[in-house]
Amino acid sequence: MPMRMGLIDRRPDWTSERFRAHWRDHHGPLAARLPGLRHYVQNHVVDRQQRGIRFARGPEQLDGLSQLAFDDDQAMRDALASEHGERLIADENHFIGRLRIVTVEPHEVIAPPPPGTALKRMSLLRRRPDVSPDVFAREWRQVHGPLVRRLAGVLGYRQNLVTGRQAPKGVPVDHAGLPIDGIVELWFADTAAIDAAFASPEGEETMAHAATFIGEITTYLVEPVTVV
């Protein structure tokens, strides 16, 4: 099932509170009416600190990340071309300052906990310039995933490998146009659990491996809102 993730910056003349309220209370119900939409989660950014890890952070200062899933690519295109899709785009232009899209291939390492029962952290990954896309994918899936699985306190873990990019939305670009290779979803009980997990010997080993293939990790704490 293809997943589209939106990287969202609010309009500069909107406060965070106004942006979050509009996205949740107005835009969400609009999106829920898209034909064929199977899954839609809004991830509202509430914290941009690089918690738990000592790693180079990228320049992104997002206000939200969206996740939408359809049965297939054609269903996705049909939905966005529909009357509801056109209304959705008009509303995006009203409250979003910058919107970029990545298509991702999700891989669930640890099933996430029930909604509302844990703290969620999302991270943007950029591979090292000397690492190819194939090597990045192999190291992330085959080596790094099992290392993260060992960390005490991890309640859920999903890897989203980027397979397509649009910057802005609707304009396909290559890696240079949107240099993000993966998006991580991690769930913990609280921020203390994040700190403890990465401060452990297993956490140190995990981050040492990350340094062999990842150039930047940009982390956010988010409040998920499940719309569909």
Summarised one tens digit per residue, pLDDT across range 10-35 is 999 999 999 999 999 999 999 999 99
Whether the Cβ atoms of residue 84 and residue 33 lie closer than 8 Å to each other:
yes
What is the per-residue pLDDT for 73?
Answer: 87
Is residue 2 pLDDT above 80, yes or no?
no
- In single-letter form, the type of residue at position 191 comes to T
Range list of H helices, the chain: 16-22, 28-32, 73-81, 83-95, 133-138, 145-149, 191-199, 201-210
- For residue 177, what pLDDT band results from cuts at 50, 70 and 90? very high
φ, ψ for residue 162 (rounded to 5)?
Answer: -75, 125
Range list of H helices, 72-190: 73-81, 83-95, 133-138, 145-149
Summarised one tens digit per residue, pLDDT across range 39-87 is 999 999 999 999 999 999 999 999 999 999 999 989 988 998 999 899 9
Instruction: Name the average pLDDT for the chain.
Output: 97
R_g of the chain, CA atoms, integer Å: 17
